[in-house]
Structure 1
Amino acid sequence: MGIHKIFAFIAVSLLTLPISPAYSATSSQDSFLTPYSAVYSTIWKKGITMKVKGTQTLSKQANGTWQFSFTADNFFASLSEKSTFTVKNHQIIPTHYLYQSSALGKKRKAELFFDWTKNRVRNDIKNKPWNMSIKPNTVDKLSVQLQIREDLKQGKDNFDYLIADGGYTKNWRFKRLKTENIETKFGEISAIKMIRTDNKDSNKQTSFWFAPKYDYLLVKLTHKEKGGDSYTLDIESLKVLAKH
């Protein structure tokens, strides 16, 4: 797997300040997720072991839109991924998605523009834009993580999602398992374990842990592939942000 794909995987899964005790799911259940900035550490094992730190930020803008971003870099590569969206009836409605990466001198960029008046998305890759039709409730591959969190927060039990990615609408499916106690830099945290189920045929195993105490924040992720390659993501720090 190339380093571009490694960084992309880290971003899809995903302020050196201690966690705030005030960060909890105490706000109205009718509100969206709490703005925050979090740092995750990732260990990638594929013959060699590589460590990467990434920052994930959710913020609400003055015009009422939301922005969700992930950035990561090390000596060899860098990645920036951002989704802009609105929320209606607990459903994320993306308007713009941007992916940029640089690895060993090679740069990549992908950009999506969502037009919900026509239910279409324009995809611009390598300055070659094209359009495709999308169904309602389609999200991008970054904001889907927030949609999972919101659906957990609302007590839903269906975790099937349509993802606009790479010229296709893909179906990502997840299954909720039991609640587990996991060790983090903040101590032991009770978290809901979920697994991705649409990729079992490829002998991949991906597990996620979301913590209800912290507004269903992703606190841990593990990914294993046939042959022994693996990724582990753990939360390191969290800072609550004020809403505009």
Structure 2
Amino acid sequence: MTIRSLLTALLGLGLLFATPAMAATSPAKAFSATYNVLRGGEPMGVATIQLRAAGNGQWLYSKNVKGTSGLAAMLGANVSESSRFRWKGDVPEAISYDYEMQAAIKHKQRHLVVDWTNNRVSVDEGKGKQSYPASPGMVERNTLALALGLALRNGQQQIALPVAVRQEVQTQNFEVIGRETVTVPAGRFNAERVDRTDADHGFSAWYAADRYLLPVKISQHDGGDLVMELVSYTTR
């Protein structure tokens, strides 16, 4: 693996302030989940994902990936993502999103904020801010996996989500293509496989939505042959 491909892979793992949330109750409980991260079938790191209430009707969703093997460990490569959102029905509607990738030779960050009063998204990557219109029920890339899990729990088979990316709100489409048996460190699951259908990035996720809101396995080929496998999932 080259250093460039490693950094591209870490960027691919990342597969918005506002008024208080309108939902009176939360459709999800606080949780903590741990994943093994592999690239090309080889161990690369460990990911920890947490969801917790932040008060004032808002929630925090964080993902931290630490390079533990190979070049990722040698470069001290780490990725942290933090999202603040409010519930809009069963959708984690975005409020803010922060991304930071640190390695021995490179540092990259992104700060995304939603001003729901004026329906504008602002994105800053350190090279000047960009702004574009917000869309109701919008998520961002960090909370996308959670939004898909909630939709599957509600029985949806075809899912279209507005996702705030760097320059626009992009509608991303997903579909349940069947059930497959998946074995990961957390166990053996008869899981629903969900594929993204509007892009050629090769994104697939396997969910046991009756047990966990996050996938038990994720496979993503954009930025490298990346796989995340569930190790543990604990509600709090």
Q: Equivalent residue for 1:41? A: 36
Superposition deviation, residue 225 in structure 1: 6.4
Q: What is the aligned partner in structure 1 of residue 216 from structure 2?
A: 219
Which of 9, 12, 16 aligns to 2:12? It is 9
How far apart are 1:185 and its partner, in Å? Answer: 2.2
Which position in structure 2 is the counterpart of 1:100?
100
Letter in 1 for 2:52: S
8 Å Cα contact 1:3-1:103 kept in structure 2: no
Aligned to 1:207: 204
Distance in 1 between the 2:64 and 2:188 partners? Answer: 26
In structure 1, the residue matched to 2:136 is: 136
Do residues 56 (structure 1) and 49 (structure 2) align? yes
Question: Alpha-carbon deviations, 1:179-237, whole Å to 9, x = none?
Answer: 2222122332221110111223xxx42210011232332110123469xx522210112
Amino acid at match of 1:36: F
Structure 1 residues not aligned, in runs of 5+: 13-29
| Mapped partners of 1:107, 1:50: distance in 2 | 22
- Please report how far the alpha carbon of residue 37 of structure 1 lies from its aligned counterpart in structure 2 after TM superposition: 0.8
Gap change, CA 1:130 and 1:187, over 3 Å in 2: closer
Q: Larger relative contact order (C-alpha < 8 A, sep ≥ 6)? A: 1
- Amino acid paired to 1:7: L
TM-score scaled by length of structure 2? 0.83
- Once residues 129 and 94 of structure 1 are traced to their aligned partners in structure 2, the CA distance between those partners, rounded to angstroms, is 18
Q: Distance in 1 between matches of 2:222 and 2:96?
A: 31
Question: In 1, Cα distance between the equivalents of 2:43 and 2:64?
Answer: 16
Mapping for residues 22-171 of structure 1, pairs under 5 Å: 31-45=26-40, 49-74=42-67, 75=73, 76=75, 77-126=77-126, 128-171=128-171
Task: Provide the C-alpha distance between the structure 1 equivalents of 2:130 and 2:209, rounded to a whole number of angstroms.
Answer: 40
User: CA-atom RMSD, angstroms?
Assistant: 2.2
| 1:50 CA displacement | 4.9
Matched with 1:18 is none
Normalising by structure 1, what TM-score?
0.81
Distance 1:196 1:110 in 2: 24
CA distance in 2, matches of 1:4, 1:60: 32
CA distance in 1, matches of 2:212, 2:56: 23
**Aligned: 1:237 with 2:232:** yes
Distance in 2 (CA, whole Å) between partners of 1:114 and 1:4 is: 27
Q: Check conservation: 1:85, 1:96, Cα contact below 8 A.
A: yes
Instruction: Please give the alpha-carbon distance, in whole angstroms, between the structure 1 residues aligned to 2:113 and 2:106.
Output: 24
Instruction: Determine the C-alpha separation between the residues in 2 that align with 1:8 and 1:159.
Output: 25
Q: CA deviation at 1:6?
A: 1.1
Number of residue equivalences: 217
**1:111 Cα deviation from its structure 2 partner:** 0.5
Percent of counterpart pairs with the same letter? 22
State the distance in 1 between where 2:183 and 2:50 align: 22
Q: Which runs of 5+ in 2 are unaligned?
A: 16-24, 68-72
Deviation per CA, 1:66-120, whole angstroms, max 9, x where unpaired? 1111101222211100110000222222111000111232111110110112211
Counterparts of 1:39 and 1:58 in 2: how far apart (Å)?
A: 12
